Chains A and B, each alone.
Chain A
Amino acid sequence: DIQMTQSPSSLSASVGDRVTITCRASQGIRNDLGWYQQKPGKAPKRLIYGASNLQSGVPSRFSGSGSGTEFTLTISSLQPEDFATYFCLQHNSYPRTFGQGTKVEMK
């Protein structure tokens, strides 16, 4: 199974901050990775697909990069509605595996 190691597990940030979250895959997964935002009681929302493609309707302050084993989600200027949990998902092989999640909290 491919292990997805996500870091950090949590971070504190302020509105306007630049935030970076990383996922590392235990083996190469090309660009077969998505990033999602999860808020309590709500359906997870896809932000990025194909490692770097912005989902339609998602603000451009979100961006993804990486290929192979190392991937990054960046929020260029954190907004109040961005305080949430973020996770990555690899779809290169079965079983699908998720990063453990990063909770972005208000400083």
Chain B
Amino acid sequence: QVQLVQSGSELKNPGASVKVSCKASGYTFTTHAIHWMRQAPGQGLEWMGWINTNTGNPTYAQGFTGRFVFSLDTSVNTAYLQISSLKAEDSALYFCARVDLQLLLDYWGQGTLVAVSS
């Protein structure tokens, strides 16, 4: 069965970096793009962008350029979200999800909590 399993919670100091992983199983990784979403405490979901798992080409939403990087390691069917120069306002739950053939998100990871605090 299709599964996306994300890495565990992270507590980071301001200015540090974090790398969140999203390991896929149960399907051919390179045939479905991976999208990333952010959910700040008590807020709705915000779409961050997506990565083409066939070409590795990332697309970032406005507000998620510069410090945010999507990457892949297709040898282990894993997508990554790296955030650098962390700020307190980056504290949130981060989700990965894959898209179906109609480009609608179908399967999601369980979320990774990133807390930024000194």
Contact = CB atoms under 8 A, between A and B. Distances in A.
Interface of A: 32, 34, 36, 41-46, 49-50, 55, 87, 89, 91, 94-101
A95 B44 contact: no
B52 to A, nearest CB: 13
16 contacts: A32-B102, A42-B110, A43-B108, A43-B110, A43-B111, A46-B107, A49-B100, A49-B106, A55-B106, A91-B105, A96-B35, A97-B47, A98-B44, A98-B47, A100-B44, A101-B44
B109 A96 contact: no
B11 interface: no
A107 B61 CA distance: 39
Given A46-B105, A49-B106, 20 more contacts: A34-B105, A43-B4, A43-B110, A44-B97, A44-B108, A45-B108, A46-B106, A46-B107, A50-B104, A55-B106, A87-B44, A89-B45, A89-B105, A94-B61, A95-B62, A96-B35, A98-B37, A98-B45, A98-B47, A100-B44
